[in-house]
Amino acid sequence: MAIHMTRIDELALITLDRPEALNALSFAQLHDLSRMIDSIADSNARALLVTGAGDRAFSAGADIKELMGRSLVEQRSGAMLGQSVLAKLDHLSMPSIALINGYAFGGGLELALACTFRLAAPSAKLGFPEIKLGLIPGYGGTQRLPRMVGEARATELILTGRTIDAAEAERIGLVNHIVEGDLVEAGQIFAREMTGYSLPVLGLARDAIRRAHDLPLHDGLQIEADLSTLAFQTADAVEGMTAFVEKRKPVFRDG
């Protein structure tokens, strides 16, 4: 299998494993990824790490050879497949972290954008080169990138097809942190800043943040009030506040 999943204690790790093709995303891989995300969602994992095999690429994007000679219906079906799989990742109940160990182009960058966070090696290169092929991103890149780095920067990157390095990606907010050393180890450390918290409450916080992009501030504040009120009703909130008063570490049970 060109993609596989392993466990590191409470963490799930998905590895794209086609180093000879720079971990390009085939349609078969997308189906495999979809099944793995479903499996992880039903597991007791607390966070997900996603990376690419080898030291050259996270993923260089879609498998271009697969995209050639397809009918209009087939092309749209392929785009909808990619969007639906990455939407599963985006809405996974637990935090997900892309570990960008090299090239993240096209569909590979869209995969990273669908993760909650992105850590990158200093040598990482990111971009949407589709425009150079007479194409545009089709797995959510035109929608997620502007929400992350702003419309002006996203428009420039997509319309020029320019590649940026890790330092620029961090500066514009596309990458959370640049990591010297072992990315998987760094990903574990980063993930464990959150794995002890309540998954339902983490999800509520992410939902409140997401909705701010689609609504006026006033409406977003109303949603935040509703969701923060729901958070207060959880048993985990009671435990968290009780533990604070009792000066001990809380034990969350996802309730």
Catalytic residue numbers read 110, 130
Round to whole Å and give the CA distance between 238 and 200. Answer: 14
Q: 238 and 201 in contact (C-beta within 8 Å)?
A: no
- Which uninterrupted H or E stretch holds 51? strand 47-52
Nearest to 43 by CA among 86, 111, 94: 94
DSSP assignment letter at 120? E
Long-range contacts of 213-217 (CB under 8 A, 24+ apart): 213/147
- Locate 18 and state its tokens: 């086609």
Q: Which residues contact 46 (CB under 8 A, 6 or more apart)?
A: 10, 11, 94, 191, 194, 195, 199
Question: From CA 87, how far away is CA 113, in angstroms rounded?
Answer: 10
